[in-house]
Amino acid sequence: MPPPLLFIIIIISPSSSQPSGPLDACSLGAGPGRQALPCQPPPTNMKEFMQIRVDPPGITCGNPPERFCTLENPYLCSDECDASSPDLSHPPQLMGDRERGGLITYWQTITWSRYPEPLLANITLSWNKSLEVADDIIITFEYGRPTSMVLEKSMDKGATWQPYQYYADDCLEAFGMSPKQVSDLAPTNLTRVICTEKYSGWVGAKEEKNVVFEVRARFGVFAGPKLINMDALYIRMETMKGLRDFFTFSNLRLRLLRPALGGTYVQRDNLLKYFYAISNIDVPARCKCNLHASRCVLRHATLQCECEHNTSGQDCQRCRGGFRSRSWRPGSYLPLPRGSGSFGCNGHSNRCSYIDFINVVTCVSCKHNTRGQSCQYCRLGYYRNASLPLDDDNICVECDCDPDGSASPHCSDLGLCRCKAGATGRRCDSCVSGFTWRGGGAENLCDSERLLCQNGGTCFDFLRCTCPGNSTGTVRKMGRHCDDEGGASAALKHFLLLATRR
């Protein structure tokens, strides 16, 4: 009998330095009646789980061994990179290792010995999982920050890429963009991709090493500079188009375009001082679980949300087997709108809006013929089917009032249409006694003197009563009943009888 399959589960623990919110529980109460709540895993430094790839092949120094010097000591070129020596090698994995005992380890490229060819390097960081950035991404360079570089992201595991931020000592020259800082952004353009000159100027390798993608400052536009009001940020993520996706990624890529020059032009007589070296990459983020999980684990070297709310999948992106009565949808950061004890948050809207000046959350684009702040009412012309559960797509039924017999296309909460005089029925599509259907309920008048056919008779061509059974008759001024004996009304017979007796 083969031994059982073993696998390691690592539970991702939160980093105490990261901002977090009250979204750590996926439900309230216990048992079948417990209330589902939006939830998400805590943030952590995802460098512990990233896969690193460096391109092009041969860009990492050491094969063959190579001498190099630094911008601080440009003519003391006695340092060596040798891939065959553990003490002199600088492989890519040193960008994500834990440095202990004060010893700095770093990845390093070949020198710019082929100038004027561009010295280009791509560093791709992969997690095979959707993540949401939770704090500043910090890349630490040794021996000078690049003169120009681009941070890119992918949301589809590397199939497509888009710029996250541009960095240059001269944005206009390098990328044709005016330089900006995150502090220049407003709530309306917070997802704008900018070029910054803040992290590219030469100020000495020892003083400034970090290149930062400023997430905390972008959060602060809504949550305040100290990120105290995270609820305001979460509401914006739900209501502002593209904001939540802006902080979502599955891969990151650094495109290093031009190395640090030491504040001068390229000095071609000593190209051994130009190269890239990165000692650390911090990526504080959380697993994206679509607000359906509070924990993320590492199974078989793959990050996986521990899904709740009857969802499944790596990102809790689909319904669990046997739970398909409604289509899957992500959780919502928004609190329940006022009056949400009715069916506003039971699947009739995918999007809500926060109205600042009255401090109200309201659902928009209500579906299934619902309306109201929390989609708790039926649209005009529909009524609620009380026999269906609140989240049923068919909760609102069309009134279908008869256009001829009803006074309005709208009906009551019970589905009763408002009928014209003479019409009856739920839809106002039939007549009360003494009326006939003539463009709706109309009095059963049968001649110019407004005499009526009686005993169930109906008027034909406004001249003759059609009587039930075999009786027929013509309306007389002296009688209003269909005559059972061929046309005379009961009143006429009574008149003739009295005349004979005289």
pLDDT of residue 446: 61
Q: Could you tell me the two tokens for 292?
A: 């359906």
pLDDT of residue 342: 39
Q: Which residue has the tokens 């390798």?
A: 205
For Cα atoms 89, 95, 97, give the angle at the middle one, nearest 5 degrees: 90
Is the pLDDT at 141 greater than 70, yes or no? yes
Please return the burial class of 378, using the count of CB atoms within 10 Å of its CB with bins 0-12, 13-18 and 19+. buried
Q: Could you tell me the two tokens for 195?
A: 């070029």
Q: Could you tell me the two tokens for 239?
A: 């209501």
Structural contact between residues 139 and 278, judged by C-beta atoms closer than 8 angstroms: yes
Neighbours of 399 (CB within 10 A): 23
Structural contact between residues 430 and 423, judged by C-beta atoms closer than 8 angstroms: yes
Is residue 99 left, alpha or beta, with left meaning phi > 0 and alpha meaning psi from -120 to 50? beta
| Rounded distance between C-alpha atoms, residue 180 and residue 174, angstroms | 14
The one-letter amino acid code at 455 reads N
Sign of the C-alpha dihedral computed for residues 336, 289, 284 and 281 taken in this order? negative
Max CA pair span of the chain: 151
For Cα atoms 226, 232, 238, give the angle at the middle one, nearest 5 degrees: 135
| Rounded distance between C-alpha atoms, residue 99 and residue 111, angstroms | 24
Least confident of 54-58, 263-267, 276-280: 263-267
Rounded to 5 degrees, φ, ψ at 440 are 120, -175
Q: List residues bridging with 212 in a β-sheet.
A: 138
Neighbours of 308 (CB within 10 A): 21
pLDDT of residue 306: 95
Structural contact between residues 389 and 398, judged by C-beta atoms closer than 8 angstroms: no
| Rounded distance between C-alpha atoms, residue 492 and residue 476, angstroms | 8
**Which residues make up the CATH 2.10.25.10 domain(s) of the chain?**
403-443
Is the pLDDT at 10 greater than 80, yes or no? no
The tally of CA atoms less than 13 A away on the side-chain side of residue 426 is 7
List the one residue out of 415, 383, 139 whose CA is nearest residue 254.
139
Is the pLDDT at 23 greater than 70, yes or no? yes
Average pLDDT of the segment spanning 101-116: 91
Least confident of 47-51, 55-59, 81-85, 352-356: 352-356
| Rounded distance between C-alpha atoms, residue 360 and residue 338, angstroms | 8
Top-ranked range on mean pLDDT: pick from 16-30, 88-102, 168-182: 168-182
As a whole number, the mean pLDDT across the chain is 82
**Which residues make up the CATH 2.60.120.260 domain(s) of the chain?**
44-287
Q: List residues bridging with 285 in a β-sheet.
A: 44, 133
User: What is the arrangement of strands in the sheet containing 464-466, beginning at the earlier edge strand?
Assistant: 458-460, 464-466, 472-474
First to last CA, the chain: 122
pLDDT of residue 209: 92
List the one residue out of 121, 105, 20 whose CA is nearest residue 281.
105
| CATH superfamily, with its number, for domain 44-287 | Galactose-binding domain-like (2.60.120.260)
Least confident of 12-16, 248-252, 274-278, 314-318: 12-16
Average pLDDT of the segment spanning 403-411: 90
Q: Which residue has the higher pLDDT, 369 or 333?
A: 369
417-419 and 423-424 strand pairing: unpaired
Please return the burial class of 114, using the count of CB atoms within 10 Å of its CB with bins 0-12, 13-18 and 19+. exposed
pLDDT of residue 323: 66
* Rg, the chain, Cα only: 39
At residue 495 the predicted structure's pLDDT band, cuts being 50, 70 and 90, is: very low
Sign of the C-alpha dihedral computed for residues 372, 375, 380 and 386 taken in this order? negative
pTM of the shown model:
0.68
Structural contact between residues 426 and 417, judged by C-beta atoms closer than 8 angstroms: yes
435-437 and 430-431 strand pairing: unpaired
% pLDDT > 90, the chain = 49
Is the pLDDT at 52 greater than 80, yes or no? yes
pLDDT of residue 105: 93
- Topology given in CATH for the domain delimited by 403-443: Laminin (2.10.25)
Structural contact between residues 391 and 346, judged by C-beta atoms closer than 8 angstroms: yes
230-246 pLDDT, tens digit each: 888 888 887 788 899 99
Q: Which residue has the tokens 């888009």?
A: 162
